[in-house]
């Protein structure tokens, strides 16, 4: 299920419309992930406050969306483009890759809420494929 030229164009187009809100998207997606999938809290035990919109959550949402922005710029070769991030997730953070799917779903829900007109079924399938590709690239260095 690799990205076609049509998928890449759709992702870039959607990103151009939503990227100015990327901090808000990251904050909302991470906030609700922690609430909807409480098992993800295990990765943030070192934060004093895990409530939606709290300072640590907000800052981290921004960091995550920075990674997504990087991925959009490296859309022609996600594996190579995200190698450093993959090393970080594999050796330092050791996030179980199953969680990439969970956060991807939350990102899709937030984009759907914030941009219902732009998030057409066609944009959705391309973005879903893209986030799957990002998840796969992030898993590259795990084993």
Partner 1 sequence: MVEWTDQERATISSIFGSLDYDDIGPKALSRCLIVYPWTQRHFGSFGNLYNAEAIIGNQKVAAHGIKVLHGLDRAVKNMDNIKEIYAELSILHSEKLHVDPDNFKLLADCLTIVVAAKMGSGFNPGTQATFQKFLAVVVSALGKQYH
Q: Please check whether residue 109 is in contact with residue 33, taking contact to mean a CB–CB distance below 8 angstroms.
A: no
DSSP sequence for 40-81: GGGGGTT-S--STT-HHHHHHHHHHHHHHHHHHHTTT-HHHH
Our CB check for partner 1 shows the closer of 52 and 67 to be: 52
Confirm or reject binding of residue 83 to partner 1 (CB under 8 A): no
Separation of alpha carbons 36 and 25, rounded Å: 16
Our CB check for partner 1 shows the closer of 48 and 121 to be: 121
Our CB check for partner 1 shows the closer of 30 and 85 to be: 30
Using CB under 8 A as the criterion, what x/- string covers residues 26-65 for binding partner 1?
-----xx-xxx---------------x-------------
Confirm or reject binding of residue 13 to partner 1 (CB under 8 A): no
Cα dist. 27→36, 122, 124, 137 in Å? 14, 25, 20, 23
Confirm or reject binding of residue 86 to partner 1 (CB under 8 A): no
Binding residues (CB under 8 A) for partner 1: these are 31-32, 34-36, 52, 105, 108-110, 112-114, 116, 119-122, 124-125, 128
């Amino acid at each position: 299920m690799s990205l076609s030229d049509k998928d890449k164009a759709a992702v870039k187009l959607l990103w151009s419309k939503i990227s100015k809100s990327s901090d808000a998207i990251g904050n909302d997606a991470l906030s609700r992930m922690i609430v909807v999938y409480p098992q993800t809290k295990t990765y943030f035990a070192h934060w004093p406050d895990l409530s939606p919109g709290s300072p640590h959550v907000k800052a981290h949402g921004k960091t995550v969306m920075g990674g997504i922005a990087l991925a959009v710029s490296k859309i022609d070769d996600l594996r190579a483009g995200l190698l450093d991030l993959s090393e970080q997730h594999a050796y330092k953070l050791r996030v179980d890759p199953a969680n990439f799917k969970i956060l991807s779903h939350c990102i899709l829900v937030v984009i759907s809420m914030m941009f219902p007109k732009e998030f057409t079924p066609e944009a959705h399938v391309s973005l879903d494929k893209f986030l799957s590709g990002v998840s796969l690239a992030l898993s590259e260095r795990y084993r």
